[in-house]
Structure formats: C-alpha cells, structure tokens
Amino acid sequence: MAHLSLYQLNSLIKSELENSLAPSYWVIAEISELRENAKGHCYMELVEKENNFIQAKIRANIWAYTYRTLKQQFTQATGSTLKAGIKVLFNVSINFH
C-alpha cells in the first residue's frame, strides 16, 4: 500500500465524512464538562452513560456568536443554565478539520 501524507489522510477523512453523513443530527447527551473561554466560545465534553459507566464520549464546541444567544434562550426556556451533569437534546453537525 502506498503511503499518504498527513494532509492527504485528513482530506480523505473529511471528504468521506461530508459524503456519508447528514448535515445535522438530533442527539441526546449528558454534559460532563463545560467551560467558556475569555472570547466566549463554549467547549464541552458530552457523554452517554449506562449503569453509570461511560458508553460514549465526544468533545463539542459552540462558537461565541452562537453560544451567546443559545445560552440566553436555554435559560429563558428551562429556568436553568447549561452546566455539567444535565442531559440535553442537541442539534449537532459534524465537522472534521
């Protein structure tokens, strides 16, 4: 098998994901970690647990321009803040960089 450069591998992965996945999915997950940086971007770790054991885990980002609005709407709709330990229904898109 011929070798690939790192760039070629990344391009192949990105292309395959874009061609085989829907633009977005509705996913229920628990927020296990949530932090907001100085610029207002939100960084989370999402998990799915069964019998208190982690079955799946992934990192997620919400960019500042979206997070500002989303955070406010979530609090108004639920009376709670986005925080670690809660389950949320997310509309997600998968991006590979």
pLDDT tens digits, 45-74: 999 999 989 999 999 999 999 999 999 999
Nearest residue to 96 via CA among 57, 61, 45: 61
pLDDT band at 1 (very low <50, low <70, confident <90, very high): confident
pLDDT at site 81? 95
Q: What is the mean pLDDT of the chain?
A: 95
Cα 56–chain centre separation: 12
Residue 85: inside a domain: yes
pTM of this structure? 0.84
What's the one-letter identity of residue 91?
N
pLDDT at site 25? 96
Domain limits at 62?
23-92
pLDDT at site 96? 86
Task: Give the C-alpha separation, 97 to 92, whole Å.
Answer: 16
Nearest residue to 31 via CA among 53, 57, 51: 57
Number of domains in the chain: 1
